[in-house]
Amino acid sequence: MEAIRISDLYYDYPGKPVLKDINLTLSAGSFTAVLGPNGCGKTTLLKNISGYLKPGRGQVLVLDTPIRQLAQRDRARIVGYIPQNTSPGFGFTCRDVVGMGRLPYLGRFQWETREDREAVQGAMEQTGTWHLRNRLLGALSGGEMQRVLVARALAQQPKILLMDEPVSHLDIKYQMEIINLTRQLCDTIGITAVAVMHDINLASRYCSQMVLMKEGKVVSTGSASTVITVENLRNVFGIKVDIIMPHRLVVPR
């Protein structure tokens, strides 16, 4: 089953073409890593998938529905988005922050229901953050904060989870925890995850699909064995590497 289909997508910022002729199909329950040099359009691609940006040409379908045809509330029930830089409010407790993920389900001036409370607790238990519920967000470590932000997105109960550099600035332990958690969510409850990443080895280990970009275009897509090759990495990043089997470990020469 297709979760996301992108057809003939183009997007320009004023005076600057960014995305050019993007065509992608991502299946439900897949975990896709979007890789490429800085400035190649990775974040812009995520924002087009989320419906935050309107493409100049082409279309993004989520669950067979054009994303731009959905009302903002309906979009938020389908797509959870964790931006690269976020300031959800350091004066809030972690439970308050995760509760913000239930806003698409609440009417104006409506108090949260039992279902909302259960969704928040469930999301925090999935991410191992329930014990942090009464802590202020600003008192957390980087890894703890990132897990809380993942919990907030999960509280939306989305079918699709978009993450922009979810492990940037985290140490190796928390990188592994966040990416492993994401893979588990794909495998156990069928979430479709798309993450902009820079660590090729981490992506190869956990992601079922790779999208390699250069200058606003998709250069290669498929499994790690298809995408992570010496030729592709030299073409996209301009570096020479060795790939050590059997784990496809990429080592610069």
Please give the pLDDT value at position 214.
97
Q: What is the pLDDT of residue 85?
A: 67
Of 23-37, 80-94, 238-252, the poorest mean pLDDT is in 80-94
For residue 241, pLDDT beyond 80: yes
- Segment 150-172 mean pLDDT: 90
What is the model's pLDDT at position 147? 87
Quote the CA–CA distance of 233 and 154 in Å, as a whole number: 33
| pLDDT (0 to 100) of residue 88 | 60
What are the extents of the domains in the chain?
A: 2-224
Which stretches of the chain are assigned E, i.e. beta strand? 2-13, 16-27, 31-35, 57-62, 65-66, 79-82, 160-164, 192-196, 209-214, 217-222, 241-244, 249-252
CATH number of 2-224: 3.40.50.300
| pLDDT band with cut points at 50, 70 and 90 for residue 152 | very high
- Residue 89: pLDDT over 70: no
- Tokens representing 86? 């976020």
pLDDT of residue 146: 85
